[in-house]
A and B are shown apart, each in its own frame.
Chain A
């Protein structure tokens, strides 16, 4: 769906975007055209706070095109990118593999080794205690490993409810905040899921 909000003053573009997103079914893409910096920032702010995936692109004559994805559109993402990825999701439920100190070492080792694979999993989804991996200190070895995944184009999502549960939402170092719907889409949408 396309929404042309050029020439409209605040808050009209946000209100129209809100209305459109409410009526659109999941897995749809909303494109909003705006013609001022204020409207661009406001629409992006609104969509990001709603947990949507947002991209903005500057067009001619001071206009911007904002693309908002309602729900995760894994299939189109796979189609669009080159085939250096496996269509697999790595599903992490804990910040360890197994128990204790060894478990904490193992997860770093496992992920580090995975980085060496010729084809990487498409995405990493962290739920429950696994969100402590994406919110670890900058200096922690795990943060460096996850950032390396991200630099290679692997999408990393941390469960929003879990982040909140552990009170670490504002500590997210790498990847994005995911939601239940997106997680399920990823687990069932791709060719396979690997769970540790």
Chain B
């Protein structure tokens, strides 16, 4: 990888760790609402993308996401930012049609060639899932940001929402946790190149294939795990209607992230997520890796609620297709005292 550009050194926080905390966001968005007969998924739920009804066959999926650099290589950063932006369409069960680049370019610290590489990286990922880039907008900014506004299509009757899991379903997660911790360590020059490459390849993996696979099975809800961490997104999934019980030993966590967490290399975002969610969580057996459940993920995996019957088949299919970190991590139970618990 080309780490010469040192993209991560000029930003305050890396990737989704730079996201505004969930509490702050809820407060700011509280006054906004949208109701229209054509809006199938709007702002009233915490879904990742919005869906607008076109006709009986098609609904329009729209989403936007930008992140600060998580790696120093411009091309790879472009790939990761694109994978992160495209992911919301896949979580909904949609296919990407078009995308527009959104860039805040830090021209003080980086030459123009860096911009070119970032955009080339982004394009490679849009092409990979069959989409096209049709434009974009760039401004000069004190901190580098890149992402996309993405438009896709989904069948109006086959939209996957994030808050509709059934009791008895299990949850499958398709990527490992710990990315916020690892990207913080990259920013601090604490990781060897081989580990950086491993992390970057996980981050740049599209959720496209996972999305296409899940659509073949009896799936009741789906979301992608990003800035609010596994427990933040699981909390949204529970919708205060069910309790989600996690099996700690089944949750995929990169060993490198565990070691860094023991050292105290944990971004503030994880603590923000934890303090926001702590009242909802019950620990049957406390675990030292607990904080990783709150770690803000960039371009995280899909969290899929699937019937118990189909779960082993879906899991095998994901593993066979190279999504090797996929694992069954939780079960949906009737609502108990707390909405999230782990053992």
Residues of A within 8 A of B (CB): 9-12, 14-15, 18, 36-39, 41-46, 49
Complex contact B264–A9 (CB within 8 A): no
Residues in chain A near residue B190, CB distance under 8 A: 11
Complex contact B13–A38 (CB within 8 A): no
CB < 8 Å: which of A36, A37, A45 contacts B264? A45
Most buried by B among A11, A14, A43: A11
The 5 A-B pairs at the shortest CB distance, nearest first, are namely A42-B264, A46-B264, A38-B268, A45-B264, A38-B271
CB < 8 Å: which of A12, A14, A36 contacts B263? A14
Cα(A15)–Cα(B267), bound, Å: 13
Besides A9-B13, A38-B268, 6 new A-B residue pairs in contact (Cβ under 8 A), listed by A number: A10-B265, A11-B184, A12-B188, A42-B266, A45-B266, A49-B264
Complex contact A11–B188 (CB within 8 A): yes
Residues in chain A near residue B270, CB distance under 8 A: 38
Complex contact B268–A10 (CB within 8 A): yes
What are 20 A-to-B residue pairs whose CB atoms are below 8 Å? A9-B13, A10-B184, A10-B266, A11-B185, A11-B187, A11-B188, A11-B264, A11-B265, A36-B268, A38-B270, A38-B271, A41-B264, A42-B264, A44-B264, A45-B262, A45-B264, A45-B266, A46-B263, A46-B264, A49-B262
Q: Which of B264-278 contact A (CB under 8 A)?
A: 264-268, 270-272, 275
Q: Which of B164-200 contact A (CB under 8 A)?
A: 184-185, 187-188, 190
Q: How many A-B residue pairs have CB under 8 A?
A: 50
**Distance to closest chain B CB from A46 (angstroms):** 4
Residues in chain A near residue B265, CB distance under 8 A: 10-11, 14, 42
State how many residues of chain B have any CB contact under 8 Å with chain A.
Answer: 19
Residues in chain A near residue B109, CB distance under 8 A: none
Residues in chain B near residue A37, CB distance under 8 A: 268, 271, 275
Complex contact A41–B275 (CB within 8 A): no
Residues in chain A near residue B215, CB distance under 8 A: none
Residues in chain B near residue A18, CB distance under 8 A: 263
Residues of B within 8 A of A (CB): 12-13, 184-185, 187-188, 190, 261-268, 270-272, 275
Complex contact B264–A14 (CB within 8 A): yes
Complex contact B275–A10 (CB within 8 A): no
Complex contact A41–B271 (CB within 8 A): yes
The residue in chain B whose Cβ has the minimal distance to the Cβ of A10 is: B267
Chain B at the A interface: mostly helix, strand, loop or mixed? Answer: helix
Residues in chain B near residue A14, CB distance under 8 A: 263-265
Complex contact A43–B264 (CB within 8 A): yes
**Distance to closest chain A CB from B248 (angstroms):** 14
Complex contact B266–A38 (CB within 8 A): yes
**Contacts A37-B275, A49-B262; is A9 near B268 (CB within 8 Å)?**
yes
**Contacts A9-B12, A11-B188, A37-B275; is A49 near B263 (CB within 8 Å)?**
yes
**Distance to closest chain A CB from B254 (angstroms):** 17
**Distance to closest chain B CB from A10 (angstroms):** 5
Cα(A12)–Cα(B184), bound, Å: 10
Complex contact A41–B12 (CB within 8 A): no
Most buried by B among A15, A38, A41, A49: A38
Cα(A61)–Cα(B134), bound, Å: 49
Residues in chain A near residue B12, CB distance under 8 A: 9
The residue in chain B whose Cβ has the minimal distance to the Cβ of A50 is: B263
Residues in chain A near residue B272, CB distance under 8 A: 38
The residue in chain A whose Cβ has the minimal distance to the Cβ of B261 is: A45
Cα(A141)–Cα(B178), bound, Å: 42
Complex contact B188–A15 (CB within 8 A): yes
Cα(A44)–Cα(B264), bound, Å: 8
**Distance to closest chain B CB from A56 (angstroms):** 13
Cα(A37)–Cα(B270), bound, Å: 11
**Distance to closest chain A CB from B189 (angstroms):** 10
The residue in chain B whose Cβ has the minimal distance to the Cβ of A17 is: B264
**Distance to closest chain B CB from A84 (angstroms):** 34
Residues in chain A near residue B13, CB distance under 8 A: 9
Most buried by A among B190, B261, B268: B268
Residues in chain A near residue B267, CB distance under 8 A: 10, 38
Cα(A37)–Cα(B267), bound, Å: 11
Cα(A99)–Cα(B5), bound, Å: 68
